[in-house]
Structure 1
Amino acid sequence: MIGRPEPANSGWRSLTPDITPLLDIIFIVLVFLLLTANIPLQSLEVDLPETDSAALSSVQDTKSITINLMAGSPAWALQGEQYEDWEQFKPVLQAQAESLKETDLILASDKEVTVDNMLKLLAFLQEHHISATQILMEDD
């Protein structure tokens, strides 16, 4: 039979604390620790050339073509001739595609250039099977 509940202040139940909130907190912390403990670290491996810094900063005096990426406007330059945007610069690159394959290509970029501009140029070079032989970087 269903009996009547005992009054809250009678017997041994009134002397024990209610640990339900404590158990809730312990389970939440336990779940948090389990979810964050096994997060795999993602990394990108980059193979850097093993040469001295003098060789990295020097540009060879062979026949070469320089492509400049600049922050702001004009954004592009080929052998010093500047172009305002990619739509003006791409036809010039397409006309020079064969000569870019035969000579050394030097990419010189300003450090404030957006990644979008660099990716456009690298995608164009990859599409036309042109390998960049030198990328100029600023010394620290």
Structure 2
Amino acid sequence: MIGRPEPAHSGWRSLTPDITPLLDIIFIVLVFLMLTANIPLQSLEVDLPKTDSAALSSVQDNKAITINLLAGTPAWALQGEKYEGWEQFKPVLQSRVSVLKDAELVLASDKEVTVDKMLKLLAFLQEHQIQATQILMEEGQ
């Protein structure tokens, strides 16, 4: 039978545990943490006006034009006139771009409206350089 030769000073070596697998696991976890810790977060910059809350709670201008974002169908409204979808609403907005630039624009959205509708409208306004916009919000309770 072939056996392993026993070294003369093998007493203390046989009692210590082999920590090589433990070190391998520690280095793998360390590399994983270093790679995932520096993920850049994407954010959307929003410039909010610095005014008091009493001025934000009511709109007192007669030149204001209101665009409503509604949950369900019809999904859009301009000055109370409702439209089924973005395809029907966008040409109406395009025909009134010059009026929208001169007037104060108020966006009123239902709380159940998805963000993509608001982003479509804001992208349209930015594309046509319409900047005077207020967003109506309900006070928290």
How far 1:133 sits from its partner (Å)? 2.6
Is the partner of 1:18 in helix, strand or coil? coil
Q: How far apart in 2 are the matches of 1:99 and 1:44?
A: 28
The alignment's TM-score, normalised by the length of structure 1, stands at: 0.79
- Asked whether the equivalents of residues 106 and 134 of structure 1 are also in contact (C-alpha less than 8 Å), the reply is yes
Match of 1:6 in 2: 5
Number of residue pairs aligned between Structure 1 and Structure 2 = 136
Match of 2:129 in 1: 129
Match of 1:78 in 2: 78
Q: Which consecutive residues of structure 1, in runs of 5 or more, have no partner in the other structure?
A: none
Pairing 1:9-24 to 2, within 5 Å after superposition: 11-12=10-11, 13-24=13-24
Pairing 1:1-140 to 2, within 5 Å after superposition: 5-7=4-6, 11-12=10-11, 13-35=13-35, 45-140=45-140
Q: Which moved more, 1:73-82 or 1:38-47?
A: 38-47
- Asked whether the equivalents of residues 104 and 132 of structure 2 are also in contact (C-alpha less than 8 Å), the reply is yes
Question: What CA deviation, in whole Å up to 9, does each residue of 1:59-85 have, x standing for no partner?
Answer: 023312111011111100011010000
Q: How far apart in 2 are the matches of 1:94 and 1:35?
A: 47
Q: Give the direction of change, closer, same or farther, for the CA distance of 1:98–1:42 in structure 2 (3 Å limit).
A: closer
The alignment's TM-score, normalised by the length of structure 2, stands at: 0.79
Q: Which consecutive residues of structure 2, in runs of 5 or more, have no partner in the other structure?
A: none
- Asked whether the equivalents of residues 106 and 133 of structure 1 are also in contact (C-alpha less than 8 Å), the reply is yes
Q: Give the direction of change, closer, same or farther, for the CA distance of 1:37–1:61 in structure 2 (3 Å limit).
A: closer
How far 1:30 sits from its partner (Å)? 3.4
Identity value in percent: 78
Q: Which moved more, 1:53-62 or 1:43-52?
A: 43-52
Q: Give the direction of change, closer, same or farther, for the CA distance of 1:42–1:89 in structure 2 (3 Å limit).
A: closer
Question: What CA deviation, in whole Å up to 9, does each residue of 1:90-120 have, x standing for no partner?
Answer: 1111111111112111111112111221121
Q: How far apart in 2 are the matches of 1:84 and 1:29?
A: 53
- Asked whether the equivalents of residues 74 and 84 of structure 1 are also in contact (C-alpha less than 8 Å), the reply is yes
Task: In structure 2, give the amino acid aligned to 1:105.
Answer: L
Is the partner of 1:62 in helix, strand or coil? coil
Is the partner of 1:113 in helix, strand or coil? coil
